[in-house]
Amino acid sequence: MNAPSILVAPKPLSDSTPVVELRRVSIAFDGPPVLEDISFTVAPGETRILLGPAGVGKSVLLKLINGLLLPDRGQVLLFGEDITTLKENELFPLRARTGMVFQEGALFDSLTVRDNVAYQLIQNSTIPDEEIDRRVRQALSFVGLEQTFPLYPDSLSGGMRRRVAIARALINNPELILYDSPTGGLDPVTSATIIELVMKERDVHRTPSLLVTHRLQDAFTLCTHRFDAARNSMVDLPQGKTDPGTTFLMLEEGRLIFDGSLHDLLHTNNQFVREFLE
Ligand X SMILES: Nc1ncnc2c1ncn2[C@@H]1O[C@H](COP(=O)(O)OP(=O)(O)O)[C@@H](O)[C@H]1O
Minimum distance between the CB of residue 184 and Mg ion, rounded to whole angstroms? 8
DSSP track, 115-159? HHHTHHHHHSTTS-HHHHHHHHHHHHHHTT-GGGTT--GGGS-HH
Cα 54 to Cα 233: distance, rounded to the nearest angstrom: 31
Binding status of residue 221 toward Mg ion by CB under 5 A:
no
Bridge partners of 180, per DSSP, are 212
The binder of 92, among Mg ion, ligand X, none, by C-beta within 5 to 8 A per type, is none
Q: Residue 27 or residue 145: which is nearer to ligand X going by CB?
A: 27
Minimum CB distance to Mg ion smaller for 58 or for 200 = 58
Q: Build a one-symbol-per-residue string for 179-218: x at contacts with Mg ion by CB under 5 A, - elsewhere.
A: ----------------------------------------
Q: CA distances (Å), 230 to each of 11, 58, 226, 246, 273, in order?
A: 34, 35, 12, 22, 37
Residue 125: phi, psi to the nearest 5? -70, -5
Decide: is 34 part of the binding site for ligand X (CB under 6 A): yes
Q: Nearest distance from residue 180's CB to Mg ion, in Å?
A: 6
Overall size of the chain counted in residues: 278
User: Tell me, what DSSP letter sits at residue 60?
Assistant: H
Nearest approach, Cβ of residue 62 and Mg ion (Å): 8
Name which of 175 and 218 has its Cβ closer to Mg ion.
218
Assess 56 for contact with ligand X (CB under 6 A): yes
29 binds, among ligand X, Mg ion, none (CB under 5 to 8 A by kind): ligand X
Q: Does 54 bind ligand X (CB under 6 A)?
A: yes
When the beta carbons of 148 and 183 are compared against Mg ion, the nearer one is 183
Q: Residue with CB nearest Mg ion?
A: 59
> Residue 59 interacts with ligand X (CB under 6 A)?
yes
**Number of neighbouring beta carbons within 10 Å of residue 245:** 16
Distinct helix (H) and strand (E) counts, the chain: 11, 12
Which three-class secondary structure state does DSSP give residue 65? helix
Cα separation, 54 vs 24, whole angstroms: 22
Q: For ligand X, how many residues bind (rule: CB under 6 A)? A: 10
Among 42, 49, 57, 250, binds ligand X (CB under 6 A): 57
Question: How near is the Cβ of 60 to ligand X at its closest, in Å?
Answer: 4
Query: Rounded to whole angstroms, how far apart are CA atoms 166 and 144?
Result: 11
Residue from 40, 51, 58, 67 binding ligand X (CB under 6 A) = 58
What is the three-class DSSP state of 265?
helix
**Is residue 59 near Mg ion by the rule CB under 5 A?**
yes
Closest by CA to 213, choosing from 243, 185, 233, is 185
Sole window of 51-59, 164-172, 193-201, 226-234 interacting with ligand X (rule: CB under 6 A): 51-59
Chain positions contacting Mg ion, by CB under 5 A: 58-59
Chain positions contacting ligand X, by CB under 6 A: 29, 34, 52, 54-60
